């Protein structure tokens, strides 16, 4: 899932193009699935489409597995947003929150002390 806030239409088109290619679909295949013409899809992907209706945009996104999320202005990132962000190999891996019962934690400490 791709989550980028405050995207303009050209950036949405670029994200759509990447998702379409990752799904191994041609523009014509997406046109057949979504009902949007191949020419409009091409214009959307290249940033030359002046506007697109919400129904068509949602249909295109659905065809390639994207979703559009509406949030209030000024919305801050959530833990879910952070956890789904792609990591790069040169970055440290994301830490995960793990809930451990007290007894389990004490046993782990005892085991580490014996090592």
* Number of residues that this document lists for the chain: 115
DSSP state of 87: P
Ranges of H-type helices in 23-101 = 27-34, 38-46, 54-64, 79-84
Q: Which fold has domain 9-64?
A: 434 Repressor (Amino-terminal Domain) (1.10.260)
Domain boundary assignment for the chain:
9-64
How confident is the model at residue 82, as a pLDDT? 72
Q: What is the pLDDT of residue 92?
A: 46
pTM above 0.85?
Answer: no
Q: What is the pLDDT of residue 78?
A: 76
């Amino acid at each position: 899932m791709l989550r980028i806030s405050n995207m303009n239409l050209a950036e949405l088109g670029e994200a759509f193009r990447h998702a379409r290619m990752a799904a191994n679909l041609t523009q014509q295949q997406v046109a057949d699935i979504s009902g949007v013409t191949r020419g409009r899809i091409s214009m959307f992907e290249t940033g030359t489409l002046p506007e697109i209706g919400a129904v068509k945009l949602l249909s295109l996104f659905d065809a390639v597995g994207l979703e559009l999320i509406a949030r209030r202005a000024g919305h801050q990132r959530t833990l879910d947003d952070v956890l789904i962000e792609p990591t790069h190999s040169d970055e440290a891996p994301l830490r995960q929150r793990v809930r451990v019962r007290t007894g389990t934690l004490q046993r782990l400490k005892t085991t580490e002390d014996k090592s």
